[in-house]
Amino acid sequence: MAWAAAGAACASLVTNGMRVGLGTGRAAAAGIHALGERVRTEGLLIVGVPTSPRSEEVARAAGIVIGLPGDPLDLAFDGADAIDPTGLCVKGAGGAMVRERVLADSAPRFIVLVDPPKIVGSLDEWGLLPIAVVPFAATRVVAQLADLAPVTREAPSDDDMVLVDLTVPPGADWQQLADRVRALPGVLDHGLFQLLLDDVLIGHSDGSVTTAA
């Protein structure tokens, strides 16, 4: 119910003719399903640009026309792993954070759908920062980040990047750490995002929706 409520609230922001970025994961799928319902029942005409083959499959099944990235978007939405009171957010548990940042940057508004447990007092409660690394550089990057106990995932990203999860020490400056990681040759991106709290839609089990603001 929580995901469905957040997804419906997000879908209500979409109007005819929009190009919409479609995130990856359970929350994003709820938004895609809600958009598909509007397509079927209202004749909503939109183009969806998915961030993964999984999202594309869900969108096609929902009856949403699929478009290619490149042209600007009108709106993009996705889920999140954890969001703190300042709007700092960790994404990337599903491994699609690079594409998700590309689409978020392509849209004037980026909506994030979550349930209450995703709202945390500090990102330390989550504790992990995922990064995407060019395969050629992966061994060296992991060695350079040995102090962060890097764990390399078995499966690559949809763009064949190596995915590595870093353990962030409690009390660390997440933004400073993300900047350090991003500066390493071969690191394509990380999962730390800065959000507008008004654009974080929190779905609740009773079907209500609030924002993080």
Tell me the per-residue pLDDT of 75-119, one tens digit each, with 9 for 90 and over: 999 999 999 999 999 998 888 889 989 989 999 999 999 999 999
Q: Which domains does the chain have, with CATH numbers?
A: 2-117+194-205 (3.40.50.1360), 123-189 (3.30.70.260)
Q: Which residues pair with 130 in a beta bridge?
A: 165
Tens-digit pLDDT profile for residues 38-62: 999 999 999 999 999 999 999 999 9
Name the residues annotated as catalytic: 100
Name the band, by pLDDT with cuts 50, 70 and 90, for residue 3. Answer: confident
What sign does the dihedral 178-175-120-147 (CA atoms) show?
A: positive
Instruction: Report yes or no: 177 and 171 within 8 Å, Cβ to Cβ.
Output: no
What sign does the dihedral 203-209-210-211 (CA atoms) show?
A: positive
Place of tokens 């509007």: 38
Q: How far apart are CA 45 and CA 136, in angstroms?
A: 42
Q: How far is CA 100 from the centre of its chain?
A: 5
